[in-house]
Amino acid sequence: MRRSQLFVKTQKNAPADEVAKNAQLLIKAGFVYKVMAGVYAYTPLGIRVVENIKQIVREEMNAIAGKELIMTALQRPETWKGTGRWSDDVVDVWFKTSLKDGKEVGLAWSHEEAIIEMMKQHIASYKDLPQYVYQFQTKFRNELRSKSGIMRGREFIMKDMYSCSINSDDHEAFYQSSIEAYKKVFERLGLGDDTFVTFADGGAFTKFSHEFQTICDAGEDVIYVNREKGIAVNEEVLNDTTLEQLGVTRGELEMVKTAEVGNIFNFGTQKSEEMDFSFTDAEGRKQFVHLGSYGIGVTRVMGVIAEKMSDDKGLVWHSNIAPYTVYLATIGDISEQVDKLYSELTGQGIEVLYDDRDARPGDKFADADLMGIPYRIVLSERTMTDNSVEVKSRTEDKTQLVALKDISHYIAEKISESN
């Protein structure tokens, strides 16, 4: 992409009312646009990061037999009344509005009931099970406070998966495979070392649910971890019984601030009983479906990454999710040669943001850093006399001369090293 064709401009300052570091950085670098507190739009740069995160999640959900679909933002009250969750006293984040004829509708804050209602039409017999479905959808939540930038949106993108299993053993096996899939997701997002599978409140059916909590100063949760034993407990379930069950003492746990990036839940048959979601087993008996729900906060993850992987110059994206791999800049009037290099690099499948603007080199370099593009390549008259380019990684200060003919190979090597 040529900068001259991309309308996005970097900004010196974020809006004065923006207090969250993630949003300040993302706004200044031109990835998001703040509409109001908790409501952010994504520019062509921002959407590339969102899509890269989604793609990693999608691949891992597909690997555990997930089937992608898409539900609707508009919801009927009837869908939610059976479980009592249409009530504002039970769910305090609903956005509700009405149709022209006065009928009430809600904007989906979750799709648990909505998906079950749809799946009821498709599942009748044990032969139809198991099924694992997921989507990426905008969720609307009328959050009381929204001071964490894109980490707590009033509208935000979530990946939500739902499992429909024949019995609790099958459910449990899938639940475990989802934990492994989630670990792979956070590993690939570069958050593996700081993300803990955390025991959290399980709700009505099970003692525990599992949250995926990432260490982050801007996070709103507090958990207790033992890194050696790989145990993490949310403060809400930290008590003697839990500690005994997990085989740790209070003294062995360290308190850390975290952001909940994912949450997986076992509903057992509670929800299917409430919604009469059943199937006929091999003996012709009616059985209730075992349900699980598995969320990942896609845009929250992006915010967490912006918080954690950034420095005083700006964002620092891992090449797995960076909007572009290379920021190509020039010094001097050598546009013909740079155009050629740009086509060569893109022709080799490298994603390049080409700064072809008539701007000072210093401004181009500052933008490359602010946007957090993993590699900066500079072609100048000086480097051209050596038939080379100057390359700098976003995480290093030193630059390196690399022969023009080797540059694609060099970048490809660097990327594979960083994975």
Binding footprint of Mg ion on the chain (CB under 5 A)? 263
8 A C-beta contact, residue 64 and residue 185: no
> Pick from Mg ion, ligand ATP, none: which does 308 bind, CB < 5 to 8 A by kind?
none
**Sign of CA pseudo-dihedral 80, 82, 87, 90:** negative
Our CB check for Mg ion shows the closer of 30 and 262 to be 262
Residue (28 or 300) nearer to ligand ATP, CB: 300
State the Cα–Cα distance between residues 373 and 384, nearest whole angstrom: 23
Taking the complex as a whole, the smallest distance from the CB of residue 28 to ligand ATP amounts, in Å, to: 21
Question: Torsions phi, psi of 181, nearest 5?
Answer: -60, -40
Amino acid at 228: E
248 interacts with, out of ligand ATP, Mg ion, none, CB within 5 to 8 A per kind = none
Shortest CB 57 distance to Mg ion, Å: 16
Nearer of residues 129 and 264 to ligand ATP, judged by Cβ: 264
Q: Measured from the CB of residue 213, what is the shortest distance to ligand ATP in angstroms?
A: 9
141 binds, among Mg ion, ligand ATP, none (CB under 5 to 8 A by kind): ligand ATP
Nearest to 234 by CA among 216, 217, 210: 210
Residue ranges binding ligand ATP (CB under 6 A): 141, 143, 152-153, 156, 158, 260-263, 295, 297, 299-300
Of the pair 117, 221, the CB lying nearest Mg ion is at 221
Which listed option, ligand ATP, Mg ion, none, makes contact with residue 158 (CB within 5 to 8 Å by class)? Answer: ligand ATP
Q: List CB contacts of 367: < 8 A, sequence separation 6 or more.
A: 10, 327, 355
CB 150, min distance to ligand ATP, A: 7
Buried b / exposed e across 376-394, counting CB within 10 Å, b at 16+?
bbbbbeebbeeebbbbbbb
The amino acid occupying position 81 is K
Class of residue 4 by CB neighbours under 10 A (exposed 0-12, middle 13-18, buried 19+): exposed
Residue nearest ligand ATP (C-beta atom): 297
**Least distance to ligand ATP, CB of residue 286, Å:** 30
* Number of other CB atoms surrounding residue 12 within 10 Å: 5
Binder of residue 34, out of Mg ion, ligand ATP, none (CB less than 5 to 8 A by kind): none
Give 262 or 314: the residue with its C-beta nearer to ligand ATP.
262
By a kind-dependent CB cut-off of 5 to 8 A, residue 190 interacts, out of ligand ATP, Mg ion, none, with none
CA distances from residue 324 to 108, 263, 300, 409 in whole angstroms, order as listed? 33, 30, 20, 17
- Alpha helix (H) residue ranges in 189-246: 240-246
Quote the tokens at residue 200.
């959290």
182 binds, among Mg ion, ligand ATP, none (CB under 5 to 8 A by kind): none
| Residue 374, preceding peptide bond in cis (omega within 30° of 0) | no
Query: Nearest approach, Cβ of 126 to ligand ATP (angstroms)?
Result: 30
Nearer to Mg ion, 48 or 210 (CB): 210
